[in-house]
Structure 1
Amino acid sequence: MSGRLENRTALVTGATSNIGRAIATAFGAEGAHVAVSGRNAERGQEVVDAIRAAGGRADFVHADHDGSAARSRALAEEAMRVLGGRIDVLVNNAGTYPPTTTPATDEPTFDEVYGVNVKAPYFLTAAIAPAMATAGRGVIIDLGSWIARLGIPISALYSSTKGAVETLTRAWAAEFGPSGVRVNAISPGVIRPASTPEGSAAPGESMMRGTPANAPGAPDAIAKAAVYLASDDAIFVHGTVIDVDGGRTGVAVVAA
């Protein structure tokens, strides 16, 4: 790696598996001191150990996102403590995805999904962005989704939360950008979980047939985009949602 994040600190939420783990690992390899955040301490420590084994710096920070401002503030405070007093990069990655239809969604599920996917990153950003603005620098990366802009017949609830996140990205860029904070988002396509057994189909794999990629992506593809946005290579990038989706939303799908 090139050390593009040398001497920077980063908090990555939902960093104990899949996309979050890939982002945390890539940040560590690029020189950042990473706060690996998640609910499962054992899996979180595995990520920390892997980053340290590769010569990077990382610490685990427990988080149980419920959407409350109090828990988001507590996470921000603990991450700032383990990172030595500042957070240079925030990655709002943690999320929950119930594959349910609209009629089958009950109110507790609705509230939980909006709590984790929208309220938690909202109040975490509210807790961290002002210090970035005061310092005159900082990066916030949100995770959207390709189904925020291309409707599919399931998961309307999840889709709507990611649409909200992508809208917040643009609003936050307008709010905090003039103070030196860059806010952007990544919209992943169908990503093959690292835990998918060899030879098995990944969830949603059929959605990628006929796209330019013609297959799901890997978590590392999202991590590379995150490194770019976090680094000075993206110094002139504000309020943008980068599609890393194998062409799923931008290119006509040709039926096989």
Structure 2
Amino acid sequence: MHHDLAQQTALVTGATAGIGRATALALAARGADILVHGRNEQRAADTLQRITALGANARFEPADLSDPAQVTALAEQVDILVNNAGIFHFARTADTTPDTFDAHIAINLRAPYLLVQALAPGMTERGYGAIVNVSSGAANTPGLGSGIYGATKAALESLTRLWAAEYGPAGVRVNAVAAGPTRTEGTAAYGDAFESAGQAVALQRLADPEEIAGAIAFMASADASYVNGATLSAMGGQPALG
């Protein structure tokens, strides 16, 4: 892998497991230094070790993304921001509690908003930067039990287009990657029910985190230098109606 991201620093939220960890490693493999956000020190230590083995620098930045003060405290000069961290607690509308609703808004939507608000102005001053928001097929496809989760992802895609127009003229690209059903530590808790989700896409399998991370790294790199305001579908394809 060529080091096209050398001398750049990336902040990846939720980088101690799953898609976030795979993204941190993919960006490190391309030469970027990584700010690893998470809350689990043991998993963070493993991620840091993997990154340094690739020859990149890395630092753990713990924060609770439900706390606005801790979110803004994460903000420092970076060239790449990957808003990956998110939660998904599935329940039908009648069974969604106010606390579940508020947690999805705080972590999936408010935290990315605050980070862009804090970091994009510095990027515009320097004349370059890349922001990648991790979305989901739930943003556009209704799923029973995924209403508030899908709503936060739909809002994030809307903000992606807004931010692309707002910051694009200054050289800051803002895009999203819509991840399909992916095998991670978090989704493993759903067992066979989630495994069956892989059969609903054209590839008829779940994604590995590295496959989503590759799409994110592409959007963050100069390979996507004329891509702005787009949502890249990494969802395994839509099957044909039989």
Shift in Å, 1:7? 1.3
Q: Which residue is equivalent to 1:237?
A: 227
1:40 and 2:71 are equivalent in the alignment? no
Measure the CA separation in 2 of the matches of 1:92 and 1:160: 16
Q: Is the 8 A contact 2:38 2:61 kept in 1?
A: yes
Q: Which residue is equivalent to 1:83?
A: none
How does the TM-score come out when normalised to structure 2?
0.94
The residue correspondences of 1:95-114 to structure 2 (distance < 5 A) are: 95-114=86-105
Structure 1 residue runs of 5 or longer lacking an equivalent are 81-85
| Large movers: runs of 4+ above 2 Å | 194-197, 200-205, 251-254
How many residues were matched structurally?
A: 241
Measure the CA separation in 1 of the matches of 2:27 and 2:105: 28
Measure the CA separation in 1 of the matches of 2:177 and 2:194: 19
Structure 1 window deviating more from structure 2 (146-155 vs 88-97): it is 146-155
How large is the RMSD of aligned CA atoms in angstroms?
1.8
Shift in Å, 1:210? 5.1
SS at match of 1:193: coil
SS at match of 2:94: coil
Of Structure 1 and Structure 2, the greater helix share is in 2
SS at match of 2:34: strand
Structure 2 residue runs of 5 or longer lacking an equivalent are none
SS at match of 1:209: helix
How does the TM-score come out when normalised to structure 1?
0.89
Q: Is the 8 A contact 1:34 1:58 kept in 2?
A: yes
For 2:74, give the aligned amino acid. Answer: L
Which of 194, 198, 211 in structure 2 is aligned with 1:208?
198
Q: Deviations over 1:20-43 (max 9, x none)?
A: 000001111110000010111221
SS at match of 1:2: coil
Q: Which residue is equivalent to 2:150?
A: 159
Measure the CA separation in 2 of the matches of 1:25 and 1:171: 29
The residue correspondences of 1:138-217 to structure 2 (distance < 5 A) are: 138-193=129-184, 204-209=194-199, 211-217=201-207
Go from structure 1 to structure 2 and tell me whether the alpha carbon gap of 1:175 and 1:196 turns closer, same or farther (over 3 Å shift): closer
Measure the CA separation in 2 of the matches of 1:87 and 1:158: 28
Aligned-residue sequence identity (percent) comes to 41
